[in-house]
Chain A
């Protein structure tokens, strides 16, 4: 699947951007040219040789703060995605197998979690349960887990009711073999799509929380915190928010792009889409009737 995702241009772009962001998170704190916490007299300076992105209201180097803060944002979004994966996908798969009571309960829970405005809830929970981004991300992960629950449940239902699984059971295949041979291939792609999407969502939430100053201690730099401190000095440095805003937007965009790329290359719908694209490219104009029936039949 990885190879097929990378075969798409959008998949390659997404992978490249995400790799850069991940490298920033890994090595950013060491790459920072200056001490991100060191204040100076040269406050609110424009971009220059020493300060590539200028300085903030305490004279701290913006580039260093940006690099140093990347780790918090990336780790936070990964934490959200993994928590949601565990809290959502497992019950989703098990809801098909563990009987009606479990199914009904988890369905109602998923409905409830969807109804909660998660940013509001994350703010409330973090503020009440202690000021740590880890707790915040665990809670947010649980709140966005219905996505995984639904996706995993739908995929499992489709597999469990399919005739090829029945045939395998009848012909005496072991459960482990059926899972490896038939179930994984159906369930993993939609979960991978959801995971990529959730990383994007988690990134927005981490940035929003740090923007509000929740979950981090003040001097420590974060991308959201940088935006928040820029907000007060917009009339002096109107270009200051560009760098953190671009980084956040690019990361979210790359995650969504990756999700689309995975969706494009996996599953029935994905294959139809690829065929559809090929057909459209090869078609001189829309009046050509020959390739038209193929996408019409397969799109459903």
Chain B
């Protein structure tokens, strides 16, 4: 925002700009401290719930390894091997210690290292989720801005209607429609599978475009709606009237005054969208045959592989929490009002 003041930056303004930069840095730091204070308990509670799942499920590695007709002694032996005969809290402590060191344990089903397995899938899922976020933010931003600038005209109504329609289409419905039209019908894109980016950016993009578009509809709708509402509200503020009276150009009013103040709710929504994207990947990866994070979660859950499921949940919690942290920091940097109440 110091850049918007730059054209009129006469000598006495320098000190002001520096003070403003210091102020901004302090704000971001305060937001960081506050966010961490919230995140630590959230993380502890979430991991505890995740770990308690095993005790609640009553599943045991013995059933997977030995089958249904194992003797009680054999079951006890296998459970002791996995350290499941120890007290619950000791197990939780060990497990949490492992997580903090990046070790998610080994799979009950095949003894493989879960961190490695998840790492393999995460590359696929994050490619898709990032592209989906990118599409969602860019398209949603354009739609929301145009709707706000042309509010109460037919353009606004058309955009609002379109946004309403796409917001109620679940990701897997969109995914199937996309497969039918663009893969089966037009043959523009492959209907499934994944090619790593190292083997060529073109094929990589072709394989992740359809799933990303399927996931992005929800983001587009939310960003467009929130941005439109925020911008329309910001245009009604007195400082905009003041800026118009001072004779500032519409472009400067939009970028300097309206956008900065109308952006807050949109960014806050983005923070909440990320869990939805991670969750929806379970379904879209199934549709598009991607061996990603969500597919791994589904397969592990259906196989009753508890440590793998726990690992998936922990990774998703970490992803979501860190994404929220970033959004909070951006929010603190962009809009001062975000300081009041997180």
Given contacts A119-B282, A234-B180, contact A128 B301 (CB under 8 A): yes
Interface of chain B, main secondary structure: helix
Interface residues of A in 63-121 (CB under 8 A from B): 108-109, 111-112, 114-121
B312 at the interface (CB under 8 A from A): yes
Instruction: Let me know if A253 and B168 touch, CB within 8 A.
Output: yes
Interface residues of B in 164-212 (CB under 8 A from A): 164-165, 167-170, 172-173, 176-177, 179-180, 184-185, 191
Instruction: Let me know if B301 and A124 touch, CB within 8 A.
Output: yes
What are the residues of chain A within 8 A of B280 when measuring CB–CB?
Answer: 119, 208
Instruction: Let me know if B176 and A212 touch, CB within 8 A.
Output: no
What are the residues of chain B within 8 A of A216 when measuring CB–CB?
Answer: none
A299 at the interface (CB under 8 A from B): yes
Given contacts A115-B42, A120-B282, A128-B57, contact A238 B302 (CB under 8 A): no
A120 to B45, CA, bound (A): 17
What are the residues of chain A within 8 A of B177 when measuring CB–CB?
Answer: 241, 245
What are the residues of chain B within 8 A of A217 when measuring CB–CB?
Answer: none
A126 to B56, CA, bound (A): 12
The 0/1 profile, CB within 8 Å of A marked 1, for residues 299-322 of chain B is: 001101010010011001100110
A286 at the interface (CB under 8 A from B): yes
A66 to B313, CA, bound (A): 33
A280 at the interface (CB under 8 A from B): yes
B276 at the interface (CB under 8 A from A): yes
Given contacts A112-B46, A214-B302, A234-B179, contact A207 B272 (CB under 8 A): no
Given contacts A128-B53, A234-B179, contact A123 B304 (CB under 8 A): no
B159 at the interface (CB under 8 A from A): no
Instruction: Let me know if A248 and B313 touch, CB within 8 A.
Output: no
Across the interface, name the chain B residue whose C-beta is closest to A296: B236
Instruction: Let me know if B272 and A120 touch, CB within 8 A.
Output: no
Instruction: Let me know if B283 and A211 touch, CB within 8 A.
Output: yes
What are the residues of chain B within 8 A of A234 when measuring CB–CB?
Answer: 176, 179-180, 184, 191
Q: How far is the CB of A245 from chain B (nearest CB, A)?
A: 4
Q: How far is the CB of B70 from chain A (nearest CB, A)?
A: 20
What are the residues of chain B within 8 A of A129 when measuring CB–CB?
Answer: 53, 56-57
Query: Looking at the complex, which one of A116, A204, A230, A280 makes contact with B176 (CB distance below 8 Å)?
Result: A230
B145 at the interface (CB under 8 A from A): no
Q: How far is the CB of B308 from chain A (nearest CB, A)?
A: 10
Query: Looking at the complex, which one of A108, A117, A241 makes contact with B279 (CB distance below 8 Å)?
Result: A117
Instruction: Let me know if A108 and B45 touch, CB within 8 A.
Output: yes
Q: How far is the CB of B229 from chain A (nearest CB, A)?
A: 10
B59 at the interface (CB under 8 A from A): yes
A125 at the interface (CB under 8 A from B): yes
A120 to B315, CA, bound (A): 11
Q: How far is the CB of A204 from chain B (nearest CB, A)?
A: 4
B253 at the interface (CB under 8 A from A): no
B152 at the interface (CB under 8 A from A): yes
Given contacts A111-B38, A208-B282, A212-B286, contact A121 B313 (CB under 8 A): yes
B287 at the interface (CB under 8 A from A): yes
The 0/1 profile, CB within 8 Å of B marked 1, for residues 274-300 of chain A is: 000000100000100000000110011
Q: How far is the CB of A140 from chain B (nearest CB, A)?
A: 11
Interface size range of chain B in the complex: 35 or more
A207 to B282, CA, bound (A): 13
Instruction: Let me know if A108 and B41 touch, CB within 8 A.
Output: yes
Instruction: Let me know if A125 and B42 touch, CB within 8 A.
Output: no
Instruction: Let me know if B279 and A118 touch, CB within 8 A.
Output: yes
Query: Looking at the complex, which one of B173, B282, B302 makes contact with A245 (CB distance below 8 Å)?
Result: B173
A62 to B67, CA, bound (A): 38
Instruction: Let me know if A252 and B168 touch, CB within 8 A.
Output: yes
Q: Could you say which of B152, B282, B302, B321 has the most chain A C-beta atoms within 10 Å of its C-beta?
A: B282
A164 to B130, CA, bound (A): 50
Across the interface, name the chain B residue whose C-beta is closest to A280: B152
Query: Looking at the complex, which one of A114, A207, A299 makes contact with B172 (CB distance below 8 Å)?
Result: A207
B127 at the interface (CB under 8 A from A): no
What are the residues of chain A within 8 A of B56 when measuring CB–CB?
Answer: 128-129
Query: Looking at the complex, which one of B41, B49, B276, B282 makes contact with A212 (CB distance below 8 Å)?
Result: B282
What are the residues of chain A within 8 A of B313 when measuring CB–CB?
Answer: 116, 120-121, 124
A235 at the interface (CB under 8 A from B): yes
Across the interface, name the chain B residue whose C-beta is closest to A297: B236
Across the interface, name the chain A residue whose C-beta is closest to B47: A112
What are the residues of chain A within 8 A of B140 when measuring CB–CB?
Answer: none
The 0/1 profile, CB within 8 Å of B marked 1, for residues 28-64 of chain A is: 0000000000000000000000000000000000000
A114 to B170, CA, bound (A): 19
A124 to B297, CA, bound (A): 7
What are the residues of chain B within 8 A of A125 when measuring CB–CB?
Answer: 53
Instruction: Let me know if A116 and B46 touch, CB within 8 A.
Output: yes
A16 at the interface (CB under 8 A from B): no
Across the interface, name the chain A residue whose C-beta is closest to B167: A256
Instruction: Let me know if A120 and B172 touch, CB within 8 A.
Output: no
Q: How far is the CB of B306 from chain A (nearest CB, A)?
A: 6
What are the residues of chain A within 8 A of B167 when measuring CB–CB?
Answer: 256
Interface residues of A in 220-250 (CB under 8 A from B): 224, 227, 230-231, 234-235, 238, 241, 245, 248-249
A-B contact pairs, 14 of them (CB 8 A): A108-B38, A108-B41, A115-B324, A117-B278, A118-B279, A119-B279, A128-B53, A208-B280, A208-B282, A238-B185, A241-B180, A249-B170, A280-B152, A296-B236
Chain A residues with a Cβ under 8 A of chain B = 108-109, 111-112, 114-121, 123-129, 200, 204, 207-208, 211-212, 214, 224, 227, 230-231, 234-235, 238, 241, 245, 248-249, 252-253, 256, 280, 286, 295-296, 299-300
- A-B pairs with lowest CB-CB distance, top 3: A119-B279, A127-B301, A117-B279
List 12 additional contacts besides A108-B38, A129-B53; criterion CB under 8 Å. Answer: A108-B45, A112-B42, A117-B279, A117-B320, A123-B282, A124-B53, A128-B304, A231-B179, A231-B287, A241-B177, A241-B180, A248-B173
